[in-house]
Chain A
Amino acid sequence: MRGFLLNRLSQSLVLLVIVSIIGFGILNLLPGGPLAQFGLDPGMTQQDIERLKGLLGLDRPIWIQYLDWAWRLVRGDWGHSFRDGAPVLEVIGSHLFATLLLMGSSTAIAISIGAWIGIRGATRRYSLFDYLATVGAMVALSVPTFWFGLVGIYVFSLKLGWLPAGNMSEIGDASILGYLHHLILPSIVLSLVHVAIWSRYMRTATLDAISQDFVKTARAKGLSERRILMKHVVGNALLPMITLAGMQLPSVLTGALVTETVFTWPGMGRLFLDSLGYSDYPVVMGLLMFSAILVLLGNLIADIVVAIVDPRIRLA
């Protein structure tokens, strides 16, 4: 286990370095580069900019600038927002909960419905249900999330009036029920694509598990089909799904950004777009790096959990 952990941790560190190099590249692509905030100020002359470059060390070799920038990231000094001067990490932190709530609830929906469809499809292979699930998954993967959101708002908020069209709660109403009511539509919208993905993977994983020898043994022991399915097949099929949950993180974050925009959900995605609109590059860069680090961390945790559950991996 120790060797596995060290190996996996060092992989993540290498990736973190590469991710930071890509991030630094984008920072220098932005108009004005790291000095963008002063480029917008009409009171700044070219000489002022040159002087600032010297003061901030931007006339140094690029790799020293990179090390300086990366070291500040590591120490938690991610710069300050142009809009209100608040530290970037604080700004991100205040939007983190809303996004995690949305991602968590939609992942829960995606896993439960997706797993159900996948297992049912695999046990009734080539049935009408299986066929419809296969075609339905391909269509679901093709629907733009924001459009599904608009259609959902049109049907359930404007026509039927059942669900709120946006925001996280009504003003003055801080009850849990109020939050849940607002959470329903965005989480369903965000989960659509992932229901499709989970159902496809779950179908494959269940088919793999069904053809294993231990299932034959269980049948030979005379266990009921239901018991075989629940205990032997689903248990083993769910294992690779932990890794999948980690791998899905970038796509869930992408979906969350779009969903939050449509539903005016006060999370990281909305913050990203707002900051982009204000050319608030420190927050944009902060969110870019933060989301990538979140993804790396998610994959690391998923791999460690799999290694804890499955001895074949940590001993190999």
Chain B
Amino acid sequence: MTAFTANAAPSRWRNNRAARRFMRHRLALLGLAMIIFLSLACVLGPHLLPYDSLYIDLRARFAPPLTGYHFLGTDPLGRDVAARLLMAGRISLLVGFFAMVLSTLIGTLVGVIAGYRGGWVGATLMRTVDGFLSFPSIFLLLALAAALKPSPVMITVIIALTSWMEVARIVEAEVRSLREREFVLAGRMLGLSGTHIMFREILPNAMGPIIVASTLTVARAILMEAYISFLGYGIQPPLPSWGNMLNGAQQYLGSAPWLAIIPGAAITIAVTSFNFIGDGLRDALDVRDDHI
């Protein structure tokens, strides 16, 4: 097994180089800083603010930002927008993160099996991927959300079920190109099982593209949660999410524009940050630029 341990040194060297390249990518660092800041604010913020996100104060309805005691103003029920924004951030970021974990797992599993087995198994799996991609994702999401009881866990699962295809395609292509390499042949000759070769020998070599794709999947998942919650089929009130905070905002657009502007800005900042990080990782890990 010395042949395998010899790989460790260059791979650690490569990781260092990747880390250095990532640190040179200014936008990616900005994105990373924004995400750390947002996460800390969402975890700690609600404990520091004097208002509860669910506390209704009908005397303080529609208070504009920066005027009274409410830093970001209040909503139609007099609830503090800042407190709701931070609690909503917890939900939106968690849904985005776990939807990414789940969809990366599904996508990697499908991609590895399709790429390694090939033949009719691979063809069937990849055509299924194409089939799912033929549906506009929001139609699929809404139909599923209407069919299943919308809880945060179920919304996460539904988003994952409609966003694993991209990862599956990337992994399949990667595994297919690695399948015929010498180290795989060596593994077969050593009598390793197919599962061991697929997941322990081939998969680690495809980690770069998977990491990049899953960072971008977080961005996409946060957007998708916002879309379906805005449309009323995602996270249900009184639980706040960035999307459902915008749900009633349109009717107050003339009198209380901050209700629409603030949560939307939070979504845009979070999604942009993940996209920046993904871009930096793509440069750092030297992943081919097939996508945007």
Q: Name B104-118 residues within 8 Å CB distance of A.
A: none
Chain B interface residue count, Cβ-Cβ cutoff 8 angstroms: 46
Q: Is A266 an interface position by the 8 A CB rule?
A: no
Alpha-carbon distance A18/B134, docked complex (angstroms): 10
Alpha-carbon distance A151/B268, docked complex (angstroms): 13
Q: Are B268 and A292 in contact (CB under 8 A)?
A: no
Q: Are B131 and A251 in contact (CB under 8 A)?
A: no
Q: Name A288-309 residues within 8 Å CB distance of B.
A: 288, 291-292, 295-296
Q: Is A233 an interface position by the 8 A CB rule?
A: no
Task: Name the contact of A146 in the complex, choosing from B143, B246, B292 (C-beta under 8 A).
Answer: B246
Which of A's residues lie within 8 Å of B, judged by CB? 14-15, 18-19, 21-22, 26, 29-31, 135, 137-139, 141-147, 150-151, 153-154, 158, 196-197, 200-201, 204, 249-251, 253-254, 257-258, 261-262, 272-273, 276, 279, 284-285, 287-288, 291-292, 295-296
Instruction: Summarize B's interface: helix, strand, loop or mixed.
Output: helix
Q: Is B272 an interface position by the 8 A CB rule?
A: yes
Name the residue among B254, B276, B292 with the largest chain A CB count within 10 angstroms.
B292
Q: Is B236 an interface position by the 8 A CB rule?
A: no
Q: Are B144 and A154 in contact (CB under 8 A)?
A: no
Known: A31-B147, A154-B257. A258 touches B231 (CB 8 A): yes
Task: Name the contact of A141 in the complex, choosing from B130, B253, B275 (C-beta under 8 A).
Answer: B275
Q: Are A254 and B292 in contact (CB under 8 A)?
A: no
Q: Are B233 and A143 in contact (CB under 8 A)?
A: no
Q: Are B142 and A273 in contact (CB under 8 A)?
A: yes
CB neighbours of A29 from chain B (8 A): 144, 147-148
Which chain B residue lies CB-closest to A21?
Answer: B131
Q: Are B138 and A143 in contact (CB under 8 A)?
A: no
CB neighbours of B100 from chain A (8 A): none
Task: Name the contact of B227 in the complex, choosing from A144, A196, A253, A287 (C-beta under 8 A).
Answer: A144
Alpha-carbon distance A147/B226, docked complex (angstroms): 10
Q: Are B250 and A262 in contact (CB under 8 A)?
A: yes
Alpha-carbon distance A288/B226, docked complex (angstroms): 21
Measured CB to CB, the closest approach of chain B to A162, in angstroms, equals 15
16 residue pairs bridging A and B, Cβ less than 8 Å apart: A138-B27, A145-B227, A147-B260, A147-B267, A150-B260, A200-B292, A249-B136, A250-B134, A250-B136, A254-B139, A258-B227, A272-B139, A273-B231, A285-B143, A291-B135, A291-B139
Q: Are A158 and B279 in contact (CB under 8 A)?
A: no
Q: Are A144 and B230 in contact (CB under 8 A)?
A: yes
Which chain A residue lies CB-closest to B267?
Answer: A144
Q: Are A141 and B250 in contact (CB under 8 A)?
A: no
Task: Name the contact of B292 in the complex, choosing from A137, A253, A285 (C-beta under 8 A).
Answer: A137
